[in-house]
């Protein structure tokens, strides 16, 4: 089998999750926002391993293994009202964004399109964003975005690569 190398982020795409847990059609996906240079990362934490022991033996009598959580993090400099709605919720009126009164859950399908021609697909993921606006003369105000893949449906994968 040929070796597959991945590199570079071409774009982050977003769409509505499909009820059956499959990934949406390409035609139903659109670019979420531009990302700040070299800020995007997809990380999986180590699994949690719990050994259960008895008083009568040194070796574990049973081991429980839980998958490590996954997250995608990046920053964006796009403060357009439509991007703020996609990332933080809220409303747009007269080209001004207003934040929601209470924290809203934003759940979307996400695709990380890579420069290498392949992509990571997440059929269902929770999006949260927070302001990181350092208002300085020689830098951009940023939004820090965290995306947590969720289980899309019973017996459906949370991550697809190809």
pLDDT of residue 146: 98
31: β partners? 13
CA distances from 144 to 63, 71, 83, 88, 149 (A): 37, 13, 13, 11, 17
Calculate ∠ Cα 133-136-142, nearest 5°: 25
pLDDT of residue 94: 94
3-state secondary structure of 90: coil
pLDDT of residue 2: 82
Q: What percent of the chain has pLDDT over 90?
A: 94
101 in Cβ contact with 58 (< 8 Å): no
Average pLDDT, the chain: 95
What tens digit of pLDDT does each residue of 11-66 get? 999 999 999 999 999 999 999 999 999 999 999 999 999 999 999 999 999 999 99
pLDDT at residue 1 is higher than 80: no
- Please name which of 18, 51, 6, 37 lies closest in space to residue 122, comparing C-alpha atoms: 18
DSSP 25-42: PGGG-EEEE---TT--EE
What tens digit of pLDDT does each residue of 94-148 get? 999 999 999 889 999 999 999 999 999 999 999 999 999 999 999 999 999 999 9
Q: What percent of the chain has pLDDT over 70?
A: 99
């Amino acid at each position: 089998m040929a070796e597959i190398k991945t590199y570079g982020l071409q774009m982050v795409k977003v769409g509505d999750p499909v009820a059956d847990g499959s990934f949406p059609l390409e035609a139903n996906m659109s670019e979420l926002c531009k990302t700040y240079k070299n800020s995007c990362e997809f990380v999986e934490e180590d699994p949690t391993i719990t050994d259960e022991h008895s008083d009568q033996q040194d070796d574990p009598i049973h081991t429980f293994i839980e998958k490590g959580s996954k997250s995608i993090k990046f920053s964006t400099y796009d403060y357009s009202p439509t991007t703020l709605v996609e990332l933080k919720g809220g409303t747009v009126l007269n080209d001004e964004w207003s934040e929601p009164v209470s924290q809203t859950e934003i759940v979307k399908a996400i695709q990380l399109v890579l420069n290498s021609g392949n992509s990571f697909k997440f059929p269902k993921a929770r999006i949260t964003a927070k302001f990181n606006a350092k208002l300085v003369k020689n830098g951009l105000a940023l939004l820090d975005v965290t995306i947590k893949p969720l289980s899309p449906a019973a017996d459906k994968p949370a991550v697809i690569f190809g």
